[in-house]
Structure 1
Amino acid sequence: MERRSNKADKFKYLQPVDRAAIALMLVLIVLIGLLIWNGDRTAPRVRNFSWQNQQVGAEDTSFTLNFNRPMDHASVEANLQIDPLLPGKFSWAGRRMAYTLTAPVFYGTNYKVQLQGAKDKSKTESGKENEKLIDPFYGQFSTRDRAFVYIGVEPQEKGRLILYNVTQQKKTVLTPADMAVNDFKIYPEGRKILFSAADWLSQKPGVFEQQLYTVTTGINPLSPGKPETKPEAAGKINLVLDSKNFQNMKFDLSPDGQAIIVQRVNRNKPGEFGLWVIKPGAPPQPLENQPGGDFLITADSGAVAVAQGQGIAILPMTPKAKPLDFLAQYAKVFSFSKDGASAAMLKFNTNYTRSLFLVTNQGVQKELFKTTGSILDAQFDPRSDTLYCLITRLQKGEQDQDQEQPLLATVDLKKAKMTPILALPNQRDIQMSLSQDGLALLFDQLVTEKKLPKTGALTTNDGQAIVNSLLWLLPITPPTEGSKTQQQQPQQLPLPGFRPSWLP
């Protein structure tokens, strides 16, 4: 009894602040109990949208919405609205919803994302649905501007690399007048361009003084999941590879921008030639493999496909490595599908015809069509099972001599059916480029002369002097379910130039 009395006395003489603290704790305990008893009354909402205010490109294939509580999946999927429409598929992991696109985004477009009327998964104590509606969510993102790069032919732009922003209708000359650009490859996101060039005095047939450079484009997209970088002004040039001891020939840039493959010839030992690899922070290294012909870096940026003898060797980008695979009977790889699962390859047949094959990583080798003419290029449409091809057909010309008529054609990969869609100017050296969203195709129309090119003249791959060149744009209407692609007419662009290429 005495001990109880002491405890009562101690409680009696507690300070007011102590009594207030104890009372507050009791109130909180009661409130927590009521909250647990009645459930969480807060409304569901979107905590994070991964593409909010970002600038996305064709390589961005999915976005996520994170919610503050478990959601009713069906109600979210039924009420999510994207304007303009972007077809895709839903997947869930707890409170996180992912939306994976089934077709690329449209470039040069502002998108709005809206979610209203969705419900969470909360239930009352009796087990009935509580039907709490989500706080309305409004998000937005944009895509990169539609833009391309080409080599100019007009006197003030002759041999210079030029960027044209279609969305803004703005032209930017990237390289100086004393450089003659021969070829170029565009880095991911379009921040800079890798190009080969020589000064005009050495720009003549049979002379290879070209060096490799990079030039900035002034483009600085705010891409999802990547840190924001400081923008650089357009036209900043950096030397990548000189030509002091080696002649630099053909080159390619890996899709991830982390490797360059260059074909080089030793100036002191002309019989010594082969592929070299250049990676960031490391000096150029020879691969020291069997010499080959045409080559292309694979879609996963991990290997290079090289024409060797009677086939295509797939080589790792490490010196003296053994081939990963060898695809017999093929002469060239035109392109890889975006996922790297398929490739378009050229085969020369014994009856002097040529075939285009679809070769997959599952071992499928499917002949798509055969022609007596030439197959110049083939590029995968990112929106459908279609290849866009540049081909030629033999026609009788003057004095009954065979001439090759260039054609633009599509190939249905499922049906292996080739359909010509556009006759092109009578020339062999045509370059085409399919946009990253599959909605536009560029090609050039060269005007050449048969005279021997002079020093300082622009030349084709065949060594003919270029007098002029026009650029054409062919709009593409993507097929809808149950319908075919609608035929469009090409539009001549007021931009004299050649070798156009869309920015990624």
Structure 2
Amino acid sequence: MYKKLQTIDKTALSVICSLFLIIGGLIWGEQLCGGGEACPFITRPEVQEFSWQNQQLGLEDRAFTLTFNRPMDLASVEENLVIEPTLPGKISWAGRRLAYTLTVPIPYGESYKLQLQGGRERSGTTEIGLLMEPFFGKFKSRDRAFAYIGTNQTEQGQLVFYNLTQKKKIILTPPNLNVVEFKFYPKGDKILFSAASKNQGIQGLSELQLYQVTTGIDQDLSKPFQPSIEVILDNKDYQNNQFELSSDGETIVVQRLNRNNPADFDLWMVKPGTQPKRLNLPGGEFLITPDGQTLAVTKGEGVAIVPLQPNTEPLDFLPKFGRILNFSADGSAAAMVNFNMENAKLRYTKSLYYVNNQGIQKELLNIDGSIIDCKFNPSGTHLYCLLTQLLPSKDYQEKPYLAKIDVKTAQVLPLLELTNYRDIHISLSPDGLAILFDQILTTDNPSLNNAPVSNAGESIIGGRLWLLIPPATDGKEVTQPDLEELPLVGFHPQWSP
């Protein structure tokens, strides 16, 4: 006597029968179409994941990965991988994952397309593997953008953010503040700046507070944007002077003077969510190293390298140098100035040195003019410098110029002669392809108390902003630099990271 089938048994039988039918259909279909690449019943290899898909990328993004669902024939994939516009890089593999590491920083203000057609599955036999499904990806780099301090009537002393890619301008700070100095946070979404109330003239330099403001670079610029400002460090008990921001945006170092005790002059460390800490480290100019762990400080006749912690002893002291200008992006090298005091009685000169963490101290340049500023390019192979040449005249006159210096060969390539060098600021774009610089117009009219103040204590009443594209060097052929005056009025331009 047969027992009646239970419901669960009926379900199991139905599933089994369905699977048999599907498998049989696939086998029959494959035989019917011959099992070729055009056969719809064959599943092809494909890209499962592209790590940069629809991403917006910056200087810190140096590699992407493509993950496949099957082991691939490496040569066929590498030969058919196309990126437009071209991004030079190196390919490496780890199983089913391809990694593409850029050999140059990604140029800003570009949209990119990636396509892979023609790659094949790796076959364990002598037969050619199956052709993969075509893959198309897209990504973009950050917009070219920078900030500057305005000088015209409607923007005087205010911090202005300009998106060069989209030609959009945003005023970030209120009209009652004169901005003196500013630094971008690493993603360009915020700016740290020092400012004082207007109507104080040069006295405002002793009343600076530190603020933080949002830039809206990650916002849709077609929609209204309202900057958000907050005070980071007040001026109640201490006068705030020079400050630096670490490359990760987590540490601020400020030079402070006690208002009640002028002998109390020290560096302080400020971190988010904590009270400011005295470092007990008096000194002159200073820079935070790119790793955010140490500080380079000028002390007397030399530069001390000190851990970024209170009450610590220097890790190193470089007595030869009187200024530190810039670190390379990886922190392995620095550009420093030797004032050549040992030969000052014979001839007063200054030398630019390349100093690295392997103990190399290489003189790149010796001039009788001035070394105003230098910036490393992203790969650390060249320096872009603002220099001056002492003119042969009875009056002490210097002719300023911009130059590109090869740190390996010490070859100096002059780029552009300038008419004036006082208070000029230079800023190298994060991709190393463009330089911003300014030229200011000042007056000693004491009635202009609302105007920003120059380093010489004069009122800044105008400013011109310039964009310089350095020449490309291809073997012996050197192209001319491309110079453009921007339709903006201000000074102290600085690229967004």
Fold in common (TM above 0.5): yes
- The Cα shift of 1:128 comes to 2.4
User: One-letter code of the match for 2:156?
Assistant: K
Give the aligned residue type for 2:369. Answer: G
Superposed counterparts of 1:84-163, under 5 Å: 84-123=85-124, 127-163=125-161
Which stretches in structure 2 are left out of the alignment for 5+ residues? 28-34, 36-40
CA distance in 2 between partners of 1:237 and 1:153 (Å): 21
* SS of the residue 1:343 aligns to: strand
Check whether the contact 1:216–1:233 (CA below 8 A) recurs between aligned residues: no
Deviation string 1:361-402 (CA, Å, 9 cap, x unpaired) is 1111111111111101111122672110000111145xx212
Give distance in 2, aligned partners of 1:487 and 1:386: 17
| 1:77 match: secondary structure | helix
Which residue does 1:500 correspond to in 2? 493
Partner of residue 396, structure 2: 402
| SS of match in other structure, 1:189 | coil
Q: Deviations over 1:236-268 (max 9, x none)?
A: 110000000000000011111111010000111
Conserved 8 A contact 1:204-1:453: no
Which amino acid counterpart does residue 182 of structure 1 have in structure 2? V
Alpha-carbon distance, 1:122 to partner = 2.9
Unaligned ranges ≥5, structure 1: 1-8, 223-230
Partner of 1:213: 211
Q: Mean Cα displacement is larger for which, 485-494 or 331-340?
A: 485-494
Question: Aligned to 1:495, what secondary structure does the other structure show?
Answer: strand
Cα gap change, 1:383 to 1:341, in 2 (>3 Å): closer
Structure 1 339/53 Cα, relative in aligned 2: closer, same or farther at 3 Å?
Answer: same
Tell me how far 1:130 sits from its aligned partner: 4.1
Matched letter for residue 189 of structure 1? K
Provide the residue aligned with 2:355 in structure 1: 359
Q: 1:201 Cα deviation (Å)? A: 2.7
CA contact (8 A) 2:399 2:418 kept: yes
Using the TM superposition, give the Cα deviation of residue 275 of structure 1 relative to its aligned residue in structure 2, in angstroms: 0.7
Match of 1:5 in 2: none
Task: Give 1:174-193 correspondences, 5 Å limit.
Answer: 174-193=172-191
Quote how far apart the aligned CAs of 1:346 are.
1.1
Q: CA deviation at 1:348?
A: 1.1
CA distance in 2, matches of 1:333, 1:232: 41
Contact 1:216–1:232 (CA<8 Å) still a contact in 2? no
| Counterpart secondary structure, 2:99 | strand
Residue pair 1:453, 1:459 contacting (<8 A) in 2 also = no
Aligned twin of 2:238 = 246
Alignment partner, residue 59 of structure 1: 60
Q: How much does 1:483 deviate?
A: 5.2
Inter-partner Cα distance in structure 2 for 1:329 and 1:232: 53
Judge which range, 301-310 or 143-152, deviates more.
Answer: 301-310
Which residue of 2 is the match for residue 378 of structure 1?
A: 374
Could you say which residue in structure 1 is the equivalent of 2:317?
326
Change (3 A) 1:17 1:158: closer
In 1, are the aligned partners of 2:198 and 2:204 still within 8 Å (CA)? no
Separation in 2, partners of 1:277, 1:152: 29
CA distance in 1, matches of 2:97, 2:425: 44
Per the alignment, in what secondary structure is the counterpart of residue 322 of structure 2?
strand
Separation of aligned partners in 2, 1:155 and 1:141? 40
Q: Provide the C-alpha distance between the structure 2 equivalents of 1:486 and 1:181, rounded to a whole number of angstroms.
A: 38
Indicate which of 264, 273, 280 corresponds to 2:265.
273
SS state at 2:397 partner: strand
2:314 match: secondary structure: coil
> Hey, what's the Cα distance between the residues in 2 that align with 1:259 and 1:97?
36
For 2:380 and 2:294, locate their aligned partners in 1 and report how far apart those are by CA, in whole Å: 26
| Worse-superposed segment, 490-499 or 378-387 | 378-387
Q: TM-score when scaled to structure 2?
A: 0.89
Residue 348, structure 1, aligned to residue 339, structure 2: yes
From 487, 497, 502, give the equivalent of 2:480.
487
Equivalent residues, number: 476
Native 8 Å contact 1:66 1:96 kept in 2: yes
| 2:255 and 2:268 in contact (8 A); partners too | yes
Instruction: Report if aligned partners of 1:204, 1:454 keep a CA contact under 8 Å in 2.
Output: no
Percent identity of equivalent pairs: 50
Letter in 2 for 1:381: N
Query: How many Å separate the matches in 2 of 1:157 and 1:206?
Result: 18
Preserved CA contact (<8 Å) 1:209 1:247: yes
User: Is the Cα contact below 8 Å between 2:196 and 2:205 reproduced in 1?
Assistant: no
Residue among 424, 434, 437 paired with 2:431: 437
Query: For residues 167 and 19 of structure 1, what CA distance do their matches in structure 2 show?
Result: 66
Is the Cα contact below 8 Å between 2:77 and 2:120 reproduced in 1? yes
TM-aligned CA deviation for residue 158 of structure 1: 0.8
Q: Give 1:121 deviation, angstroms.
A: 1.4
- Partner residue in 2 for 1:464: 458
* Range moving further from structure 2, 382-391 or 335-344: 382-391
2:288 is matched with 297
1:6 aligns with: none
CA distance in 2, matches of 1:24, 1:213: 67
**1:384–1:334 distance in 2 versus 1, CA, 3 Å:** closer
In the alignment, the residues of structure 1 paired with residue 17 and residue 359 of structure 2 have an alpha-carbon distance, to the nearest angstrom, of: 72
Shift of 1:28: 6.3
What CA deviation, in whole Å up to 9, does each residue of 1:150-195 have, x standing for no partner? Answer: 0011111110001111111111111111100001001112111100
- Describe the shift of the 1:183–1:485 C-alpha distance in structure 2 as closer, same or farther (beyond 3 A): farther
Contact 2:157 2:451 in 1 (8 A): no
- For the structure 1 residues 164 and 23, does the alpha-carbon distance in structure 2 shift closer, same or farther, using more than 3 Å as the test? closer
Letter in 1 for 2:175: A
**How far 1:464 moved relative to its partner?**
2.6
TM-score, normalising length from structure 1?
A: 0.88
Letter paired with 2:183:
K
Aligned residues of 2:202 and 2:457 also touching (Cα < 8 A): no
Distance 1:82 1:424 in 2: 39
Aligned to 2:32: none
Aligned residue number for residue 315 of structure 1: 306
Q: 1:479 to 1:26 in 2, by over 3 A?
A: farther
Greater Cα shift, 69-78 or 174-183: 69-78
Distance 2:6 2:467 in 1: 85
Over aligned residues, Cα RMSD in angstroms?
Answer: 2.6
State the shift of 1:56 in Å: 0.5
Q: 2:247 touches 2:291 (CA, 8 Å); kept in 1?
A: yes
